[in-house]
Amino acid sequence: MTTYFDSSALAKLYIVESESQAVIDLVNAHTSRVTSILTRVEVRRVIARQHSRIEGAIARESFLNDLALFHVAALGSQVCERAAAIAEATSVRTLDSLHLATAVLTQCRGIVTFDRRQATVAAELGLDVIGI
Contact 4, 112 (CB under 8 A): yes
The CATH classification number of 2-130 equals: 3.40.50.1010
Digit-coded pLDDT (tens) for 102-115: 999 999 999 999 99
Is the pLDDT reported for residue 132 higher than 80? no
Q: In this predicted model, what pLDDT tens digit does every residue of 30-77 receive, in sequence order?
A: 999 999 999 999 999 999 999 999 999 999 999 999 999 999 999 999
The helix (H) or strand (E) run that includes residue 88 is: helix 77-90
Spatial strand order in the sheet of 71-73:
71-73, 32-36, 2-5, 110-112, 128-130
Domain boundaries, the chain: 2-130
